[in-house]
Amino acid sequence: MAFWRRNTLVERERHVKANARDYNDKFSYTDNHIKTSKYNILTFLPLNLFEQLQRVANAYFIVLLILQLIPAISSLSWFTTIVPLLLVLLITAVKDATDDYFRHKNDKQVNNRQSQVLIRGSLQNEKWMNVRVGDIIKLENNQFVAADILLLCSSEPNGLCYIETAELDGETNLKVRQALTVTSDLGDVSKLVDFDGEVVCEPPNNKLDKFIGTLCWRDSKYPLDNDRMLLRGCVLRNTECCFGMVIFAGLQTKLMQNCGITKFKRTSIDKLMNTLVLWIFAFLICMGVILAIGNTIWESRIGRRFQVFLPWTEFQSSAVFSGFLTFWSYIINLNTVVPISLYVSVEVLRLGHSYFINWDKRMYHGPTNTAAVARTTTLNEELGQVQFIFSDKTGTLTQNIMVFSKCSINGQTYGDIYDEFDQKMENTEGTACVDFSFNPLCDRRFKFYDSSLVDAVKLEDPAMQEFFRLLALCHTVMPEEKTEGHLVYQAQSPDEAALVTAARNFGFVFRARTPETITLCEMGQAVAYQLLAILDFNNVRKRMSVIVRNPQGQIKLYSKGADTVIFDRLDPSSEDLMYTTSEHLSEFGGEGLRTLALAYKDLDEKEFEVWMEKLQFAGTVIENREDRLAVLYEEIEQGLKGATAIEDKLQEGVPETITCLNLADIKIWVLTGDKLETAMNIGYSCNMLRDDMNEVFVMSGHTLLEVQQQLRSAKEHILGLSRVGSAGDVEKSDMFADSVFEETIIAEYALVINGHSLAHALEPQLEHVLLDLACLCKTVICCRVTPMQKAQVVELVKRHKRAVTLAIGDGANDVSMIKTAHIGVGISGQEGMQAALASDYSFAQFRYLRRLLLVHGRWSYFRMCHFLCYFFYKNFAFTLVHFWYGFFCGFSAQTVYDQWFITLFNIVYTSLPVLAMGLFDQDVNDHISLRHPSLYRPGQQNLLFNKRQFFLCTLQGVCTSFLLFFIPYGAFSVMVREDGSHFSDQQAFSVTIATSLVIVVSVQIGLDTHYWTAVNHFFIWGSLTLYFVILFALQSNGMFGIFPSHFPFVGTARNCLSEKSVWLVILLTTVVCVVPGLVVSFLRIDLFPTPTDKVRHQLQSRKRQRPQEQNLRQSRRTSSRRSAYAFSHQQGYGELITSGKNMRTSRVSTARSAQRTQHSSNWIENVLKRKNEVSCISDESTEAPEKSDRT
């Protein structure tokens, strides 16, 4: 990585010469090898160790270990530190190694893909990684493009080729690329070998839609732009093969440049933990200093004179120096306030939580056989704190699969399923689908559940026939019939394909087209229509028509388009029909289906000819040609008769999920590469945009000023309105929309912003305005955004809002966003795996996000917080006893406990119960968490573990340690045994305190556990038993016999724990330590119950009653409907078809009119020109919507 970065710094301009490896080698461009892995076998150990030691905690323990090896200050044996430390390092290293192994594997797989490269005059198979800049490579249909290449020529006429850019920007429709005219006839290998053009172009960058360069060949220069480029990650479609010259390779390709750098993600709790560790460290030093000063004073006052019995050594020659040494000894003694086992335990917990995610069968998607996968194990608890979700649209919210699901023909709806009682049924998997076997040409994947429609078609009802005929004729789909009866449709938008496929299955099979004819197979009979004109779609017209002459010689106009547009043009005679249809449309729209209206009209010959002439005239006029055409199109489409059709399809459960997440106070922003209309439409269908919203702001400015203007006015609008609302504090609420103010906005707003405006709005001077405005709005939709912009938006929120962000997407275009956000979620299974591989979590359906956040995230956060609180409590209680003891042992760093107890306390005696709590605890079960999304909020507000909570639990720990020390102290100062022998010795004292401590922390964990599974019981009771077993074992005669100097406590446990008074002390200590905490938590629950407490209480009080399932399903929008056609279609194909340019099979007849040829010759320019055009939003027909339920 470092290598190419250095290279790009100097690279101002790129010179690439085709077929000249020697020449290109001079510049040492990177080859096509990609590497995303971090280590190799040799570098793993040093690099990984180095990385791990950069963690504050690990470094701290290393320092401790070194201290412990110095005999003069070592107050504890070295094994108390090194065993746990090695364990930590080992576990982490193994985890890192596995992660990297998979990255290696993935890299290797990509690098070893085959491509055909022109080397020394012939095509040879080469691995991707061996492709170099300047090589000419051959691509075949459906292959991934291996690098960023300049298209030289293709098998298609005019050097055209089609690509799908789903991996780059998420759009699945086909895009056209055309080679330069001069190179487009280099069609075969022999000519390409001699090609020696030199490309001079921009250096590598991440702009996907921009390329500037020139080709110098045969002494002339040709400008190059993005339309000559095929970028890595695209897939070649509909094109047999093409040749191109590699311009950027490997990591310098635009795709790779768009992949943000992999950063190690840490959770906010991680960061907080590191801060707290530093604080604790400071606290430790403070205590060390206090005790060291104490030691100095003690040594100079008492110790100096106590030298009769305890002389100073050469190490400890003065009181001050003794204090200095004591400081270090105490640092060692008290180091357990930051236990190493904390880090091990946290890792284990996270791993466990990740497994629970992997094991969740409710996040398993049967049809694609994908289970949810937690790819990183470090982020789980952050899932419980998400405040912003950035979602991709295509493939994430939508399935990107369109299915014909309902229709209304001549006032009659089809598509609903009824049971025998005429009740509408939910569509489940058991429902039998319609048998299309009568039709040999049907598409077997097509499913339809309402058999009445098929019956109606079979009855040859003319309206029915016209309906499907229209669907079969009026489109720009290209058919491909490889073998007889095996039809494949190539459509530029999935909904067109869906419609044509529907018609095909209902017996109106679209089989072939030439520039002038369309061949259908109507109920088994081949029928050829003469195609007279295609009145193409554009964003203003929002409809498309064809004029055909049927075999009977009648001229018919078929039209489909947005309902509003079609209804306006309907013949008054069909008004009744229009009303019924309109009702049906609203119904369909309410179910989240995309709708479309169809109409047809008979034309008479004369009328058509007049119109045709006008059209031809208009076509010759250069100025305002488009406007004139539009007028003409308008003219002929007047007065139609109607019928309608519809289609679908969101991912399952999207609106419910979004509603639910909204209730949990999570803001969802949609960032999509799609068009504004599409995005808004999806916004409506998944309940993000609603008709009852106060205002939907659309930002579509082209300049910085315009955007600024729009943003400001929108903001003023919101603030202004709410000022009126809260008249009292007009003065206070000025332009600074602080967070308090945000809360007071009751009205609901939505912001829709397109890519151009976003680019301006993300400039430093506007980003604050944008952010403020966006946060005032309930919904934010950004469309036409590039992958990098997605990441920028995420970054913006991350930087300024201090909120946890989650990005979810499915395509390669989402990778940078996924990597930037705190948490990246990939939808796996549909498109490529790029997003899933870059993500932290992946699953098959958007709706699982709800479970991931509200159940797993919430639990993880809850568990982790309780775990940390308890852990800090436990270790403070454990360690600070040494501090108090310091005042009674001459500040000599004498430990209270046996060193075996110190070694084992954290890793054996108390680790399992707290791990069990951290793994299994649940305050409420998953159903309840899903039913009450508001229970998610404590996580967002960081309530369960923050600095305050930390203080409280350490305070509890300090108090406990105080009591743990002073109650035995009080008892032991005069205690004797039942047999009269003295008893106030240090070892008995130690065993008593240790036993009390173990019992106190066990009782405390019992009180902190909300969910006592068998495992919890086993671990808690087991740990207590284990403590006593180990205690007696370590203090047994046998152990002492083997290592007398390591087990000096022999017999203490026996002598000590057989005393009644010791047990009385332990009982007293336990009760006194636990009661205050109990009182506080009881009062908190009783007087200030959190929502969780209330829910738990409620559940408790009606335990017997099985909680009835509450249906959260929000009632769908009932009113406004949206027209699919208005957005899913791209302009320009009509001309392409009529021109015949793209038709390989049928050569355009020479008899074609010259005029038409000329007309069509500049279609590409038109396409390209219009493509960048910013479309304006379709004004939705919102006919007085009923107030839909607000939540």
Partner 1 sequence: MMASSYSAKDEDGHITVTGPGGAALRSKKPENTAFKQQRLPAWQPILTAGTVLPAFFIIGLIFIPIGIGLFVTSNNIREFEIDYTGVDESSPCFNCSQNFSWNSTQPCTCSIPFSLEQSYENNVFMYYGLSNFYQNHRRYVKSRDDSQLNGHLGSLKQPSKECEPYAKHENKPIAPCGAIANSMFNDTLELFYNDPNGTKVLIPLRATGIAWWTDKHVKFGNPGDGLNLTAEFQGTTKPVNWRKPVYELDSDPLNNGFINEDFIVWMRTAALPTFRKLYRIISRKDNMVPTLLRGNYTLEVVYNYPVRSFEGRKRMILSTISWMGGKNPFLGIAYITVGSVCFFLGVVLLIIHHKYGNRNNSADISN
**727-786 positions binding partner 1, by CB under 8 A:** none
Site for partner 1 in 911-950 (CB under 8 A): 920, 922, 925-927, 930-934
Q: According to the annotation, is 673 in a ligand binding site?
A: yes
Among 5, 120, 361, 1106, binds partner 1 (CB under 8 A): 361
Q: Could you say which of 711, 1065, 1126, 1136 contacts partner 1 (CB under 8 A)?
A: 1065
List the beta bridge partners of residue 486: 483
Q: How far is the CB of 925 from partner 1 (least distance, A)?
A: 8
Please say which residue, 166 or 963, places its beta carbon nearer to partner 1: 963
1012-1025 burial: b if 16+ Cβ within 10 Å, else e: eeebbeebbeebbe
Q: With CB under 8 A as the contact rule, which of the stretches 88-96, 175-183, 369-377, 816-824 interacts with partner 1?
A: 369-377
Residue 315, Cβ neighbours under 10 Å: how many? 12
Find the length of the chain: 1191
| Candidate residues 8, 141, 530, 894; the one interacting with partner 1 per rule CB under 8 A | 894
Q: Please name which of 874, 886, 969, 883 lies closest in space to residue 914, comparing C-alpha atoms.
A: 874
Tell me the C-alpha distance between 173 and 649, whole Å: 17
**What residues contact residue 365 under an 8 Å CB cut-off, 6+ apart?**
371, 829, 843, 844, 845, 848
Minimum distance of partner 1 from residue 982's CB (angstroms):
5
Touching partner 1, residues 989-1018 (CB under 8 A): 989-990, 1007, 1010-1016
Q: Do the beta carbons of residue 960 and residue 1073 sit within 8 Å?
A: yes
Alpha helices in 887-946 (DSSP H): 899-904, 911-920, 926-931, 937-940
723 is in an annotated binding site: no
Q: What's the CA gap between 443 and 434, in Å, rounded?
A: 12
* 333 labelled binding-site residue: no
The tokens for 1178 are 């379709």
Distance, in Å, from the CA atom of 354 to the CA atom of 343, rounded to the nearest integer, reads 16
Which of the following is catalytic: 360, 392, 921, 1008?
A: 392
For partner 1, the closer CB: 927 or 1147: 927
Q: Does 1064 bind partner 1 (CB under 8 A)?
A: yes
Residue 159, classed as helix, strand or coil, is helix
Q: How far is the CB of 134 from partner 1 (least distance, A)?
A: 43
What is the maximal distance between C-alpha atoms in the chain?
131
> Is 393 annotated as belonging to a binding site?
yes
Segment (H or E) for 1156: helix 1154-1161
- Provide the minimum distance between the beta carbon of 357 and partner 1 in the complex, in angstroms, as a whole number: 10
Q: Is 931 annotated as a binding residue?
A: no
Question: Smaller CB distance to partner 1: residue 949 or 1013?
Answer: 1013
From 31-39, 130-138, 520-528, 1064-1072, give the range in contact with partner 1 by CB under 8 A. 1064-1072
Q: Of residues 104, 1054, 1116, 1170, which one binds partner 1 by CB under 8 A?
A: 1054
Provide the mask over 855-874, with x wherever binding to partner 1 is found by CB under 8 A and - wherever it is not.
----x---------------
Near partner 1 in 193-252, by CB under 8 A: none
Separation between Cα atoms, residue 535 and residue 637, nearest integer Å:
9
Instruction: Closer to partner 1 by CB, 618 or 864: give it.
Output: 864
Point out which span in 751-759, 794-802, 814-822, 1109-1117 binds partner 1 (CB under 8 A): 1109-1117
Chain residues 655-694 in contact with partner 1, contact rule CB under 8 A:
656, 663
Q: Should residue 264 be labelled a site residue for partner 1 when binding is judged by CB under 8 A? A: no
Q: Which of 977, 1116, 1156, 1170 binds partner 1 (CB under 8 A)?
A: 977
Q: How far is the CB of 1084 from partner 1 (least distance, A)?
A: 9
Cβ atoms of 575 and 583 within 8 Å: the answer is no
Does residue 55 interact with partner 1 by CB under 8 A? no
**Contacts with 683 (C-beta within 8 Å, 6 or more apart), sequence order:** 670, 689, 750, 752, 779, 781
**Joined tokens for residue 930:** 């899903």
Pair of tokens at residue 801: 């809002």
Distances 304 to 288, 310, 893 between C-alpha atoms, Å: 21, 9, 17
Query: Per CB under 8 A, which of residues 598..657 are in contact with partner 1?
Result: 652-653, 656
874 is in an annotated binding site: no
Q: How far is the CB of 144 from partner 1 (least distance, A)?
A: 25
**CA–CA gap between residue 441 and residue 509 (Å, rounded):** 7
Kindly tell me which residue out of 187, 619, 890, 1022 binds partner 1, with binding defined by CB under 8 A. 890
Beta strands in 155-313 (DSSP E): 160-164, 174-178, 198-201, 213-217, 220-224, 229-230, 235-237, 241-248
Q: Which is nearer to partner 1, 291 or 389 (CB)?
A: 291
Q: Does 1116 bind partner 1 (CB under 8 A)?
A: no
Would you say 13 and 202 are in contact if contact means Cβ atoms under 8 Å apart?
A: yes
Binder of partner 1 out of 221, 799, 1094, 1147 (CB under 8 A)? 1094
**Which one among 164, 360, 392, 648 touches partner 1, defined by CB under 8 A?**
360
Part of the chain binding partner 1 (CB under 8 A), chosen from 499-507, 557-565, 970-978, 1122-1130? 970-978
674 marked as binding residue:
yes
- The yes or no reply on residue 1109 touching partner 1 (CB under 8 A) is yes
Q: Establish whether 813 is an annotated binding residue.
A: yes
Look up tokens 């305005």; give the residue: 769
Question: Interface with partner 1 includes 1072 (CB under 8 A)?
Answer: yes
Report d(CA 876, CA 865) in Å as an integer.
17
The response to whether 560 counts as a known ligand-binding position is yes
CA–CA dist 576, 643 (Å, integer)? 12
Only one of the segments 220-228, 473-481, 564-572, 892-900 lies at the binding site for partner 1 (rule: CB under 8 A); that segment is 892-900
Q: Would you call 1106 exposed, middle or buried from its count of C-beta atoms within 10 A (0-12, 13-18, 19+)?
A: exposed
**Residue 1085 within binding range of partner 1, rule CB under 8 A:** yes
- Taking the complex as a whole, how short is the minimal distance between the CB of residue 1045 and partner 1, in angstroms? 5
CB atoms within 10 A of CB 904: 21
Whole-number minimum distance, CB 826 to partner 1, in Å?
16
Nearer to partner 1, 694 or 1061 (CB): 1061
| 496 assigned to a ligand binding site | yes
Q: How far is the CB of 973 from partner 1 (least distance, A)?
A: 6
| CA-wise closest residue to 1149 among 504, 514, 258, 198 | 514
Do residues 542 and 620 make contact, with C-beta atoms less than 8 angstroms apart?
Answer: no
- For residue 868, give every residue at least 6 positions away whose Cβ sits within 8 Å of its Cβ, in sequence order, or none: 269, 273, 346, 945, 950
Choice between 366 and 553, CB closer to partner 1: 366
- Bridge partners, 122 (sequence order): 119
Q: How far is the CB of 891 from partner 1 (least distance, A)?
A: 9
Of 431 and 1146, the one with the shorter C-beta distance to partner 1 is 431
Q: In this complex, which beta carbon is closest to partner 1, that of residue 525 or of residue 981?
A: 981
Q: Which of residues 830-849 bind partner 1 (CB under 8 A)?
A: 847
**Residue 392 is among the residues annotated as catalytic for this protein:** yes
Give the contacts of 279 (CB within 8 A, at least 6 positions apart): none
CB of 775 to partner 1, least distance (A): 22
> For residues 1157 and 931, what is the distance between their CA atoms, to the nearest angstrom?
64
Asked if 77 touches partner 1 (CB under 8 A), the answer is no
Site for partner 1 contains 318 (CB under 8 A): no
Q: Is 819 annotated as a binding residue?
A: no
Q: What is the chain's Cα-based Rg?
A: 37
Binding residues for ATP: 392-394, 496, 537, 560, 594, 672-674, 784, 790, 813-814
Binding residues: 392-394, 496, 537, 560, 594, 672-674, 784, 790, 810, 813-814
Active site residues: 392
Binding residues for Mg(2+): 392, 394, 810, 814
